[in-house]
Structures are given as structure tokens and as C-alpha cells.
């Protein structure tokens, strides 16, 4: 028979785990007014449920209505110098809750994403699995063979290497984020840099889609953009100066 005090202890422990499942969302943005509204709207149900407690939009000098869109949605808006790594770090410094969710301004989490996220957070917080971060499953908002093929390749990369990109989002305990040193002030490759420091064993893939804009792939061509991404990653890993890699990638200034 389970004693009353044991039941109370279990209930208290469960409640403590649930109370830790609170998220600060950090979104770096620049001239993202046309995409940001959908990104923020996808967070509303989880905010109503008390999971998302804070949304921080870090605006790197937008010349459009990005800041206004964020403010009207109830997000905290802060200004930043261009450079996504610096934006993410600045947003993290202002976050008040135990879990951090880093999300690109052109990435929309699918309906019900919070179920997968909450289950993952609960396992970590309650000690059912080791301390880890989670990334969502990559999906493009485009039809056709090319986007589906790219999604499969990204899935394979994440399964083998556990190196998710920023457009998959990153859900990470504040404790782990601080322990590995957070985001570095890099104009590009800040997601790869953090993933490498986390290591394969501390990165999990969540069973929910992060649906990201295919605009850059349609503009540059799926093959051309994918090859450019891979070449830049190799050059970065080989030690080429990050400023040179950023110019080759076309990301001298932060884009959504």
C-alpha cells in the first residue's frame, strides 16, 4: 500500500516538474514583418496554457514594421546590433524562465508542438533522461520534389550527426545553455557552433514540425543554396575567418 505521505511526495514532485515547464522564447529578427506575425501566432495556444511565459523579439535595426508587429502581439522588443549570434545571446540574457526556445522569425511551429515539447521538458526536469536540448523536425513551406528531398536529407543529417540548424528551433534548459557558454557573438554559424559544444548525446529531435520559409531556396535555387550552406559549413570547420564565411554565405547582415 502506498502511504499518504508518499502520495503527497509524488504529487509534490510532479507539480515541481510541471512548474519548471515554463519557456522564454527568443526570436532574432530583422525586416521580418511579413513572417513574424505567423511565428508569434503559433505560440498563442501554449501561452494560454501557461507554457510560454515570455516572448522576446530581438530586432537588429529593422526598417519595416517588425518591432510594431512584435509589440502588438505582446512580445518584449529589444534593439540589437546586427549579428544573429549576438541577438540570440542578448535575448537569452533577458529571459526569466527555466527553459529557452530559440526560434527564427520565419519559422512557424506546427499546431500541437507544445505536447512534444512539454513531454521532453518533463523527462529532463524530472530526471527521466539526462540534461539535453531538443530541436524540431525540419519542414519547408513549399510543395514539390525538391523541398521534400531536402527535408529527408536534413532528417538524415540530424539522425546521424545531431547537428540541427537554427531554422529547426532549439529548446534548451537555461542551466545547460549557461553551462556550455551559450551563443557566441557570431554573424553566422552560431547554431552549428552551439550544437558542437552541446555534443551529440545532449541533442534530441522532437516529434513536431518547425515549418520554415523556403523563400531563400526558391530565390537562389534549392541545389545552389544547399551546396552553399554545406561549403560554408566545411570552410567554417576548417578555420576560415567567420567574416569571410559570412560573405560567401550572403549573410553579412542578419536576416530572419
Cα gap 256→176, rounded to integer Å: 25
Residue 233 falls inside a structural domain: no
pLDDT given for residue 250 in this prediction: 78
Q: What is the mean pLDDT of residues 129-158?
A: 95
Cα separation, 170 vs 188, whole angstroms: 16
Domain that holds residue 204: 4-213
Within a domain: 39: yes
- Per the domain annotation, does 244 fall within a domain? no
Asked if residue 85 is part of any domain, the answer here is yes
Establish if 113 belongs to a structural domain.
Answer: yes
pLDDT category at 248 given cuts 50, 70, 90 is confident
In a domain, 235, yes or no: no
pLDDT band at 14 (very low <50, low <70, confident <90, very high): low
* Residues of the chain above pLDDT 90, percent: 79
Choose among 84, 106, 102: nearest CA to 35: 106
Query: What CATH number is associated with residue 43?
Result: 3.90.550.10
pLDDT of residue 140: 97
Q: How far apart are CA 74 and CA 32, in angstroms?
A: 16
Dump pLDDT digits (tens) for 19-62: 678 999 999 999 999 999 999 999 999 999 999 999 999 999 99
**Total domains in the fold of the chain:** 1
User: Is residue 36, in this structure, part of any structural domain at all?
Assistant: yes
pLDDT at position 159 over 80: yes
pLDDT in tens, 61-87: 999 999 999 999 999 999 999 999 999
Q: Is residue 134 part of a domain?
A: yes
Q: What's the rounded Cα separation, in Å, for the pair 187 and 244?
A: 11
Amino acid at each position: 500500500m502506498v502511504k499518504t505521505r508518499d502520495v503527497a511526495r509524488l504529487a509534490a514532485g510532479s507539480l515541481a516538474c510541471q512548474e519548471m515547464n515554463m519557456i522564454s522564447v527568443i526570436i532574432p529578427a530583422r525586416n521580418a514583418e511579413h513572417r513574424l506575425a505567423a511565428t508569434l501566432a503559433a505560440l498563442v495556444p501554449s501561452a494560454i496554457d501557461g507554457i510560454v511565459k515570455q516572448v522576446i523579439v530581438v530586432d537588429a535595426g529593422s526598417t519595416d514594421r517588425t518591432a510594431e508587429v512584435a509589440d502588438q502581439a505582446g512580445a518584449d522588443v529589444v534593439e540589437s546590433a546586427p549579428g544573429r549570434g549576438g541577438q540570440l545571446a542578448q535575448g537569452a540574457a533577458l529571459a526569466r524562465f527555466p527553459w529557452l526556445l530559440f526560434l527564427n522569425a520565419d519559422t512557424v511551429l506546427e499546431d500541437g508542438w507544445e505536447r512534444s515539447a512539454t513531454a521532453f521538458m518533463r523527462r529532463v526536469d524530472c530526471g527521466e533522461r539526462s540534461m539535453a536540448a531538443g530541436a524540431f523536425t525540419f519542414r519547408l513551406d513549399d510543395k514539390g520534389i525538391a523541398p521534400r528531398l531536402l527535408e529527408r536529407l536534413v532528417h538524415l543529417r540530424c539522425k546521424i550527426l545531431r547537428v540541427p540548424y537554427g531554422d529547426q528551433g532549439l529548446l534548451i534548459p537555461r542551466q545547460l545553455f549557461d553551462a556550455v557558454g551559450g551563443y557566441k557573438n557570431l554573424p553566422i554559424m552560431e547554431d552549428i557552433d552551439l550544437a558542437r559544444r552541446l555534443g551529440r548525446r545532449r541533442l534530441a529531435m522532437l516529434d513536431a514540425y518547425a515549418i520554415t520559409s523556403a523563400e531563400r531556396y526558391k530565390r537562389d535555387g534549392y541545389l545552389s543554396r544547399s551546396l552553399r550552406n554545406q561549403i560554408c559549413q566545411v570552410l567554417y570547420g576548417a578555420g576560415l575567418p567567420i567574416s569571410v564565411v559570412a560573405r560567401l554565405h550572403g549573410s553579412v547582415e542578419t536576416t530572419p
